[in-house]
Structure 1
Amino acid sequence: MDGQTAATQALSSAAYRDGRVDALVKANPATGVRPPRLSIFEPNLGEAFARAVQVRMLGGARKETVQSFGTDPQTVVEHCLAANRIRQARDARLTVVMAVCGLLFLPGVLIWLIAFQLRRWLAKAEGARAGALGGLVIAVAGLGTLLLIWRPPLHGLGAWYLRAMMVVPVIGWIIARRICERTAVDLRDRWSGLLSGSGVGAQIPEAVPQHPNDERAERMRQSFVALAAEQNSNVVFYAGPKGILGMGPRWGSWQLAEELVPQGMPEIHPFRSWDVIKAIQAKLGELERGPLHTGGFPKPSIRHWIVAPLGENATEISRPTGAEVEAFTVKDFELQRICNEQQFGSGNRHYLGVQFVLWDGQLVITLLITVTVLHATLRIEVTGHALGPVHSLFTAKPAPKEKEVSKSVKFWETKTVQLPLVEPGEVVRLAARAPLTWFPPVLDFFGGQLTLPEPFGLRSAWADKPWKHRFMSDDALRAATPVLRAVHAAALSVLEENGVDTERFGTRSLFLSNVVQGVEPRRADAYDA
């Protein structure tokens, strides 16, 4: 099986990014953003993503998560923790700066914060006039500072305090800018390194117990254990037109259904659906071996799945519990019982899945097989599910902060001008947020909060459709025919061994083999194809 590094590192890089949170909403409109009460406390994309994922995946009130096929969700969560730790170290230094330069000269700090808040409000308005007004606000604040320094309205000690009240916050801003730039360089290096394949691993020392009674580390360890158990669970959920959560919507379906008729004997030998499924499983294990040495299929993952029904608009999932379930995984004897007995009416259903993880985890192809016997009719159904690459937002590398301008003398030539890595307004935002980062509920109240789409799965939340990529769509379509033929060959062998007349089955199998060669992706779950 191909590696799963590309999708994992792309999602992990979001924890180190800058930019606006709105980009996540564009990638998946189901993502919710509670608007800030004061935009100066608004988080950027990386801050919002890292905190939301950490709380959702490791929080005490966490809900169960959808499997992330093609990725390692624990690695993504670890990078979110590492990014938060880097920002906490920066915020600790910024808090000291704010305490020294802010508390002692609070009136001046408030004046500058109000000026930058007005600038942010005006910057969100439409038109060039609003942008010019935003710059004018800062210019007026600067002129007012110069006027207070030159001729303060008070005398003596009061005059010197008024001067310091407006100047010291500016000095603190200069110190804060250097702190922010050092952290920004570190974050952007990690962002770029993950996407180029040379990134360092996440470091989360808080996950290592410091003493036997370290409750925080123990809770984190238990959360990681639960996350791993959910990822390895063999229970998936069918959410109507959304398809199987984590595997993607169903794009194709092929059914072989014929009557069980004895061949040259009074009756057929009794067999069960599980016998057919086991023969199909053995046959699918031969997919990676072919008559020609031309590459072909990588080793697929072949696994039994329990599929539970779920409403299209459901906001959470709940896996089965009981003596037949261990660590969110249904035991073998229960798999066999569901396969043989729960084929009609209410209850979960059994499927045998063959899954290919390709393009370093960017493409997940899953073909599910189910066998049902109702009265004298045997039905074998193969359905195709495909989960495409993660949204292009997560694969974009950091753009250099520079621009090309014309030279002043040789105006027909251009030169590259380096822009500040952290803009002045961004320094003010980070410095204003820093003291409140020690009180997350207060920061969420003033700065807003990112709400992840539910039911949440790291891989499926921001997965794109594979049909936009020619080679990925070709891989998904090509996988269907060999799998379908292997399934039919295994089923026919079981039928022949048990005295079933396979003439009609063979004719139907040839017909499906011809149909599947011209298959095109369809919206099978919408029933409009």
Structure 2
Amino acid sequence: MTKLDMTPGAQIPRTDVGPQTAVTQLLSSAAYRDSDFRDLGEKLGAKIKEGKFALFRPSLGEAYSRALIDRTLAAKRNPLVPSFGTDTRMVVEHCLAAEDLRGARDRKLTLVTLVSGLLFLPGALIWLLAFQSRAWLKKRNPAREGFYGTVALLVAGGLALLFVLRPPMSGLLAQYFRLMMVAPVVGWFVAKRIVLRSTEDLRSRWGALVEGSAIAATVPKAVPRDDLDKKASTLRAQLERLTAEQDTNIQHYAGSRGILGAGMRWGVWEMVEDLRPAEGQVDFRTFHPWDLTRRIADRLGGLGRSEISDGGMRHVAIQQWVVVDIPEGADEIGRPGGPEMDGYRMRDFGIQSIANRQTLGTDTRHRLATQLVLHNGQLVTTTVIGVTVLSNTLRVSVAGYALGPLNGLFGAKPKPKEISVAKTGKFWEEKTVVLPLVDNDEVVRQAVRAPFMKLPTLLTWLGGKIALPEPFSLRAAWADRTWTSRFKSDDVIYSATPVVNAVLAATVDFLEEHDVNVARFTNRTGILKSEMQGVRPFKADVYDAG
């Protein structure tokens, strides 16, 4: 996969994108799609907001790109939930690149529309009324759209023929009446060639990204031409802000939704015992929870190594998180401020303070997280470790979270437009007819939208838009259930086992070094390992309580 080089000059392909490349490409491919934007609501759960005129409706790629750019690059916006296993900036750059391609197309279409439409407005309005009627009938009564739509076009065609043969005026006005019905048709022919070339280009990028090819997202608007180019500098700063925000170590727990961005909690293992001095010792050496957490983190760092060839767990990310509890139905998240914060990340001393502080009765906790991105980014499995001490009782908990694959819509490849019709003479049999890639309705739709390309708010009011689910995480918003795939389900369970074993071993070793009686902890370790033999996922955050 390639990444935009933000400096002038050639773009250099990235070679360190890691295992998340496939999902990033699938999410990026949606920016170039030409299917119905209502698919985002019907198949992906986004909220569809209809416009005033069906003729101005956006395509899926147009609605997706506009919604994503507005949500991620706006000057004033709510914080974003991290998208684990995804390069969010790269997806947004593809949305910007797709809008640039459509902008170049729309500038040509605007010129055609002004010459053939605005100068001959009465005739253009008659033709637009016919196509608007087709779009309206298709929405209200799809079964009869073909019949009534044809009637509407025939009426418009009849008026055109009448004005050409028998104009109601004489002289120069007569010539104008003849041209006002013919000029929009000529403009439509020119516009169709422009739309066809654009559609073929966008579809080639869509298909290449789905198939895994490295397609660069070229965003020249983000490269300042000089020191006074404030617009490009602002866009560049917004993209850098997006990258920094995705690297935050502040996470949010939303009830049964689990850790936002990481998926639902599917399993919990806990070791809880009293801290007692070892035999022959008057007391044990005191320690802080942060000391034990660091020892566990060091042990987890060895998961990538194994005495068995290829037995290591590669690409394990180990992170110190601060997890904030929020209501399950919250539609936004917040970010803490203060001297503990360095941009979107909490500084180490702030994390250490939370880890050592008594957090009983608070909504902010420290957690140690290990994360694996598997199946080319289609599976994100996260294991979260918490260390707490109440009185002289130590609790070490390990919880598993899973984020499943993307919705299948993102993996769909561009296909020819086809329709099944009855065979001539054999009405009981059907044949498949390949339709033109760009039909008349699509040409008119793009031509009437083109003049409003610099007014996205007005265009949204005219044609409609999608509202992204909140709190918004690009990766988690459209993830399917993990447990519908056998191998992905197994990998979630298998990856948790070595993490639990490492946590238990590190805890016992640490306590033994601090003169703690580890007999009870060792027994508990054996019990937990026995439970891991037949571990099964369950709804860990759904409680059966009245």
TM range (shorter): over 0.9
User: Is contact 1:66-1:455 (8 Å) kept?
Assistant: yes
CA distance in 2, matches of 1:406, 1:347: 64
Superposition RMSD in Å: 2.1
- Partner residue in 1 for 2:31: 15
CA distance in 2, matches of 1:296, 1:263: 35
Moved over 6 A (4+): 404-416
CA distance in 2, matches of 1:243, 1:429: 42
- Partner residue in 1 for 2:209: 194
CA distance in 2, matches of 1:225, 1:291: 41
Letter in 1 for 2:469: P
User: Is contact 2:196-2:438 (8 Å) kept?
Assistant: yes
Task: Give, in angstroms, the shift of residue 321 of structure 1.
Answer: 1.5
Cα distance change of structure 1 residues 509 and 43 upon mapping to structure 2, 3 Å threshold: same
- Partner residue in 2 for 1:67: 82
Is 1:511 matched up with 2:495? no
Is 1:149 matched up with 2:150? no
User: Is contact 2:305-2:311 (8 Å) kept?
Assistant: no
Aligned-pair identity in percent equals 49
Task: Give, in angstroms, the shift of residue 274 of structure 1.
Answer: 1.2
CA distance in 2, matches of 1:349, 1:486: 22
Task: Give, in angstroms, the shift of residue 73 of structure 1.
Answer: 0.6
Is 1:325 matched up with 2:341? yes
CA distance in 2, matches of 1:184, 1:367: 44
CA distance in 2, matches of 1:311, 1:343: 18
- Partner residue in 2 for 1:474: 490
- Partner residue in 2 for 1:52: 67
- Partner residue in 2 for 1:168: 183
After superposition, residues 349-360 of structure 1 pair within 5 angstroms as 349-360=365-376
CA distance in 2, matches of 1:440, 1:129: 33
- Out of 295, 313, 323, which is 1:279 matched to? 295
Is 1:390 matched up with 2:406? yes
User: Is contact 1:27-1:462 (8 Å) kept?
Assistant: no
Letter in 1 for 2:328: E
User: Is contact 1:276-1:491 (8 Å) kept?
Assistant: yes
CA distance in 1, matches of 2:438, 2:111: 19
Comparing 87-96 and 313-322, the one that deviates more: 313-322
- Partner residue in 1 for 2:223: 208
Task: Give, in angstroms, the shift of residue 81 of structure 1.
Answer: 0.3
User: Is contact 1:373-1:379 (8 Å) kept?
Assistant: yes
- Partner residue in 1 for 2:441: 425
User: Is contact 1:242-1:248 (8 Å) kept?
Assistant: yes
CA distance in 2, matches of 1:522, 1:85: 46
User: Is contact 1:12-1:194 (8 Å) kept?
Assistant: yes
Task: Give, in angstroms, the shift of residue 130 of structure 1.
Answer: 4.3
1:376-400 residue CA offsets vs partner (Å, 9 max, x unmatched): 1100000001111111111111112
CA distance in 1, matches of 2:269, 2:194: 60
Task: Give, in angstroms, the shift of residue 153 of structure 1.
Answer: 3.0
User: Is contact 1:404-1:415 (8 Å) kept?
Assistant: yes
- Partner residue in 1 for 2:155: 140
Task: Give, in angstroms, the shift of residue 493 of structure 1.
Answer: 0.6
TM-score of the two chains, using structure 1 as the length reference: 0.95
CA distance in 1, matches of 2:431, 2:397: 63
CA distance in 2, matches of 1:197, 1:179: 28
Comparing 287-296 and 366-375, the one that deviates more: 287-296
User: Is contact 2:400-2:496 (8 Å) kept?
Assistant: yes
- Partner residue in 2 for 1:371: 387
CA distance in 2, matches of 1:58, 1:127: 38
Letter in 2 for 1:301: A
Task: Give, in angstroms, the shift of residue 244 of structure 1.
Answer: 0.6
After superposition, residues 459-498 of structure 1 pair within 5 angstroms as 459-498=475-514
After superposition, residues 196-345 of structure 1 pair within 5 angstroms as 196-264=211-279, 265-345=281-361
- Out of 74, 95, 109, which is 1:94 matched to? 109
TM-score of the two chains, using structure 2 as the length reference: 0.93
Is 1:453 matched up with 2:469? yes
1:395-442 residue CA offsets vs partner (Å, 9 max, x unmatched): 111112356778879999998754211111011111011111122222
Q: What SS class does the counterpart of residue 254 from structure 1 fall into?
A: strand
- Partner residue in 2 for 1:380: 396
Q: What SS class does the counterpart of residue 525 from structure 1 fall into?
A: coil
Q: What SS class does the counterpart of residue 512 from structure 1 fall into?
A: helix
User: Is contact 1:190-1:199 (8 Å) kept?
Assistant: no
1:40-64 residue CA offsets vs partner (Å, 9 max, x unmatched): 1111110011111111111112222
CA distance in 2, matches of 1:271, 1:27: 52
1:87-120 residue CA offsets vs partner (Å, 9 max, x unmatched): 0111100100011001111001111111111111
Q: Any stretches of 5+ residues in structure 1 without a counterpart?
A: none
Comparing 416-425 and 248-257, the one that deviates more: 416-425
CA distance in 2, matches of 1:236, 1:455: 12
Comparing 148-157 and 224-233, the one that deviates more: 148-157
Q: What SS class does the counterpart of residue 305 from structure 1 fall into?
A: strand
User: Is contact 1:67-1:231 (8 Å) kept?
Assistant: yes
Cα distance change of structure 1 residues 411 and 136 upon mapping to structure 2, 3 Å threshold: closer
CA distance in 1, matches of 2:217, 2:312: 35
Letter in 2 for 1:504: R
Letter in 2 for 1:489: A
Q: What SS class does the counterpart of residue 453 from structure 2 fall into?
A: helix
Comparing 95-104 and 265-274, the one that deviates more: 265-274
User: Is contact 1:480-1:516 (8 Å) kept?
Assistant: no
CA distance in 2, matches of 1:413, 1:26: 31
User: Is contact 1:355-1:365 (8 Å) kept?
Assistant: yes
Comparing 310-319 and 469-478, the one that deviates more: 310-319
Q: What SS class does the counterpart of residue 4 from structure 1 fall into?
A: helix
User: Is contact 1:40-1:429 (8 Å) kept?
Assistant: yes
Q: Any stretches of 5+ residues in structure 2 without a counterpart?
A: 1-16
User: Is contact 1:2-1:358 (8 Å) kept?
Assistant: no
